[in-house]
Every structure is written in structure tokens, then in C-alpha cells.
Structure 1
Amino acid sequence: MTPRDGSDVHDNPWSDLDRPPLNGTGLRRSLVRDGGLWSSVEVVPATGSTNTDLVARAAAGTADEGAVLIAEEQSAGRGRLDRRWSAPPRSGLFFSVLLKPGEHEVPVARWGWLPLLTGVAVATALSSTAGVDTALKWPNDLLVTVGDEERKAGGILAEASGGGGVVVGVGLNVSLRADELPVPGAGSLALAGAKVVDREPVLRAVLRSFERWYVQWCAAEGDPGLSGLQETYAAGCATLGRSVRAMLPGERELVGEAVAIDADGRLVIASDAGREAVGAGDIVHLRPA
């Protein structure tokens, strides 16, 4: 049977009727337009990592800003600290986008806001389209509530690419069932009670939301205050106001209360030694005593 986007899929794309394949032609028709951010949309049946593939294309000069690469299945998806991300075919959204903020006069010093911008865009889209409240764990996790438990349903990874670009990848569990969870603490939109688990309207909403935020941010030359990004991220950040443990480079550990997101997108932690802005590290939300 020919899949809806006309691509060659090695397995029967309708083997799981609850998980139909994405319609690449329809996505291109609805997202690619003159003057818009998205320049191309491609759906592939499987790959190791959409980020790796798109970084390579950017380095080779074969991808323009606004290129979107989506995989129905990833075998070597990566998160921060090179953690692996995998899920059954067509159970989630696994995609990467190529951005060139320097062409919009955004200083390199502000590019660190891109993962946070992506989180805001995804959370905003999921709230309006799927009816799921998505919280943001600094710096790149997407959290949903399953029962009364906070669980990770998605992640974001930004990587520099050739030609002054940045590739931002998103992995989001959509229809993943309880018996398919890679780890007990994982979640999905379906498990969180989403009213929509059809990936196409969810993906369209996410990419349109991303375009709005990215254009607004670039128009402000990456200023997180003028663009409204800093305030919106802080409002949706589940890390703020929590006791946290930050595992920092050099095997250093910092325990305290997460009190703010500063103008550089860093997490400000108040501890007995004072306040410290953390730009990189692994954050653990500590349970209340």
C-alpha cells in the first residue's frame, strides 16, 4: 500500500491503525509559504537521528533556513549529555529544524535562548491543540502530568551546524502506551489525557507556534525581554520555585532553590553560599521534605 505522502516505507505503514503515517505532501502544503519561515518539510520513514542528518545537510550547504526534517522512527535519537531517545514507529513526533538567527541580526550570545524558545512554542501549541498542560523543566525537558505524577514526555536538543546555523531537534511522545515506556518516569500525551493524539494537527500547531515565537524573537534581535520570551518561559517553567540539585561541569554539585531565569537564559539558584547562575548542567527536581 502507498503511504499518504507517497514515500517508500519499508514496512506496511498501516500495521498499527492507531498510528497512521504522516502526510508529507499535506504538511508541506500547509506550512511552506512565500515569506514564511519554513522552506521545506520532509518526512522519512526512519533514520538514526534527524539532528545528525540535518546538521550534515547544513554543513554541506544543501539545506536552507527553515528546513524541517521529520522521521517516523529514530533509532539513535539523542538528548542532552548524549542520552538516547527511542520509541516505537509513529508513536511520537521526532523532528529537527534548521535556523540561522545570525541572518536576522541576533547576536550569538543570545542563541542560547533557542531551546527555551522551542519549549515555549511546543507547550503553547500542546495546550491549545491537544488540551494538555505542558510544563517546562529547565533547560530542555517537556513535562506532563500522568495521574498525580510529573513525567517527561519530550526533550529538546540544539546543536551548532555549519554555515552559522543551529539545528534544533524535538522528540515528543504522543501515543506511547504504558507498556511501551522506555523508563518508568516517562510519559506521553495519550497518558496525560490528551484530547488529540493525531500527530499531524499537533505537528502543524507546534511548527506554526514556533514560527510565531522565532519571528518575534528575531524582530527583537534576540532580546528575551522585548520579545516576551523570558516572561513567558518563566511562567511555564516547573523548575522555578523548586528545590533543585544541579550537577555541574567538573563534577560539582549545587543544591538550592531555583529562583529565576536571567537575561542569558541561565537558571539562577539560591543556596546557602548565595545566588549562582547556571548555564549548563543536569537539574534534578527535589521532592519537598
Structure 2
Amino acid sequence: MTPSHDSANRFSDLDRPPLNAAALRRALVREGGLYRSLDVVAATGSTNTDLAARADDLPEGAVLVAEEQSAARGRLDRRWSAPPRSGLFFSVLLKPDAVPVERWGWLPLLAGVAVASGLSRAAGVDTALKWPNDLLLTVDGEERKAGGILAERAGSGVVLGIGLNVTLRADELPVPGAGSLALAGAASTDRDPLLRAVLRSLEQWYGDWRGAQGDPAAGRLQEAYVAGCATIGRRVRVELPGGRRLVGEAVAVDGDGRLVLATEGGGREAVAAGDVVHVRKAE
């Protein structure tokens, strides 16, 4: 667990001002756009859990942002925490009715591309993607995880959750190998323009993907993901349920969003995100 700040006082850390919910709504919620509502709460357990509970009653494009999460979850229900207002922690409700359900698995990868694109413009940093759902930043010459993505089915749609460390200091990192925009030397750590940039990027990529009926090649999503994926070209060890392991070079991401390995036996094997426990560099 990371150190906790006094969340009762919104201005307890002057380096971490609260988000301006009204300004964010004015910038992002507009007629004909994706986003229909945007709410910022001081604290909650999990924005994904909150949106999922109301998914059938909310329109597509509902956004929930939390200044602090007490029960944030990653893939496979892994837990993580961060000080209040030290990052961007938000979820978006998507209902891609026109896209075949078998292509919905591309949504967390799409979110990775959108976050990387938005941060490149707004923060001046290169964000690499670790398949399937991690966001990597370079800190002191080392790739470090600075965020993650979680997509969960909810009613007739998907809740897409994104967590990104923005101003975490070295003594606040949940694990030594973590990172943040501040530690990566970002040109800006002002969360309001960062959130606007990421959500606008998500709106663009999602709109193109939906317009292509979820075809990752036609919408150039597959090409963009592979170009930004740090996993491709590396020798990795994939840990699967039941203690099974695969070792090989990650050579591609296929049309279903699966990671393709050239295995040591000379063959190729594709693994889906839902079947993977860990993907690590192979020694």
C-alpha cells in the first residue's frame, strides 16, 4: 500500500489540485459526441464497479472519474492503490452494438493506443504498450509500468477502466518497478488537460473502430497497436493457468488481438489475454 493523504481536505496537497469537473464537461460532453455525461467523485471503491452496476440504466459514453480509489482492480482482480489526486483513475461505458461481440476483445488494446496517443500530445512522453493491458514509461532509462487498462462486460456493454500514475513520487510507488509521468520527465502533469487529451483520443480511436465494424485492420488499430507494443520482438515467457508455460519470441498480434509467439520448437502459438496469467521477459 502506498502512503495515504488526508482525503477529507480537497486541497491537502497543493501540488495535486482537484479536477475541474465543470470545465471537463464543457470540453468533452457535446451533442453528437461520444460522451454523454462526466462525473468526478472524491473517492470510491472502483469506478469500474460503480459504472457496471448502472450499465443498463446509463447511455453509452458515461464517464466516471475518481480522485481516489480504495478498491481499484486490475486484470485477474489484482489490487493496486495510489494517493488521492496523484493520477487519472476513470471508467467509460461503451455499447458498441454495431460491432460483432467477438471483436470486443480489441477494446483494451484500443484503449492502450488511445492513451499512448493522447499522452504523446499532451505530456510529451512516449508511452509503450505491454501486451495485453499495461502502459509503460521510461524512467532513468528503464521501462516501468505507469498504468493499466481493464475492460469488463457489463449488461449489454463494456466498462473500460484506465488508471495512470501522474504525480507519484519515488517514495510513493506501490512497487519499486512502477513509474509515473512525473518520474518520466513529462512536460506537463496537469491532470485536466491530460484527461481531456486521453478522452478525446479514445473518442477518435473508438469511433474509427466502430465505423469499421470492429475490423482492427480496416481501422488501422492493429497496425497502430503493433507499432507501439514493446512486447513485439522480445523473447518472453507466458504463464498460463495450471502452471503451463510458453517461451518464445513475440512476433505479432493477430486479428483477434492475441499475442503470437514463435516458440522454441519452431512452431507458432497464439495466446488470448483472458488465458494469460503473466507475460514476462524470458531470461
Are the aligned partners of 1:49 and 1:77 in contact in 2 as well (CA < 8 Å)?
yes
**Residue 117 of structure 1: which of 110, 117, 120 is its match?**
110
Deviation at 1:42, TM superposition (A): 0.2
Q: Is 1:142–2:131 an aligned residue pair?
A: no
**Residue 38 of structure 2: which of 26, 36, 41 is its match?**
41
- State the 4+ residue runs in structure 1 displaced beyond 4 angstroms: none
Q: For 1:73-88, what aligned pairs fall within 5 Å after superposition?
A: 73-88=68-83
Report the residue type matching 1:29 in the other structure: R
Deviation at 1:10, TM superposition (A): 6.4
Q: Is 1:98–2:93 an aligned residue pair?
A: yes
Deviation at 1:272, TM superposition (A): 2.1
* 2:269 corresponding residue in structure 1: 276
Q: Is 1:32–2:29 an aligned residue pair?
A: yes
Deviation at 1:252, TM superposition (A): 1.1
SS in 2 for 1:159: strand
Deviation at 1:110, TM superposition (A): 0.3
Q: Is 1:57–2:50 an aligned residue pair?
A: no
Q: How far, CA to CA, are the matches of 1:79 and 1:125 in structure 2? A: 21
Deviations 1:13-67 (A, max 9, x none): 1111110000111111100000000000000000000000000011xx3311000
Are the aligned partners of 1:242 and 1:258 in contact in 2 as well (CA < 8 Å)?
yes
**Residue 223 of structure 1: which of 183, 207, 215 is its match?**
215
Q: How far, CA to CA, are the matches of 2:255 and 2:44 in structure 1? A: 36
Are the aligned partners of 1:239 and 1:285 in contact in 2 as well (CA < 8 Å)?
no
Report the residue type matching 1:166 in the other structure: V
Q: How far, CA to CA, are the matches of 2:96 and 2:241 in structure 1? A: 27
Deviation at 1:250, TM superposition (A): 2.7
Are the aligned partners of 2:74 and 2:148 in contact in 1 as well (CA < 8 Å)?
yes
Deviations 1:96-137 (A, max 9, x none): 0000012xx100010000000000000001111101100000
Report the residue type matching 1:116 in the other structure: L
* Residue ranges of structure 1 left out of the alignment (5+ in a row): 1-8
Report the residue type matching 2:88 in the other structure: L
SS in 2 for 1:85: coil
Q: How far, CA to CA, are the matches of 1:19 and 1:57 in structure 2? A: 30
Are the aligned partners of 2:39 and 2:64 in contact in 1 as well (CA < 8 Å)?
yes
**Residue 154 of structure 1: which of 141, 144, 147 is its match?**
147
Are the aligned partners of 1:95 and 1:171 in contact in 2 as well (CA < 8 Å)?
yes
Q: Is 1:261–2:258 an aligned residue pair?
A: no
* 1:208 corresponding residue in structure 2: 200
Are the aligned partners of 2:86 and 2:166 in contact in 1 as well (CA < 8 Å)?
yes
Alpha carbons of structure 1 residues 186 and 10: separation in structure 2 relative to 1, 3 Å: closer
Are the aligned partners of 1:244 and 1:283 in contact in 2 as well (CA < 8 Å)?
no
* 2:119 corresponding residue in structure 1: 126
Percent identity between the aligned chains? 72
Deviation at 1:284, TM superposition (A): 3.2
Q: How far, CA to CA, are the matches of 2:279 and 2:30 in structure 1? A: 41
TM-score, structure 1 normalization: 0.93
* 2:3 corresponding residue in structure 1: none
**Residue 20 of structure 1: which of 17, 25, 28 is its match?**
17
Q: How far, CA to CA, are the matches of 1:63 and 1:249 in structure 2? A: 35
SS in 2 for 1:238: coil
Are the aligned partners of 2:170 and 2:183 in contact in 1 as well (CA < 8 Å)?
yes
Report the residue type matching 2:271 in the other structure: V
Are the aligned partners of 2:119 and 2:194 in contact in 1 as well (CA < 8 Å)?
yes
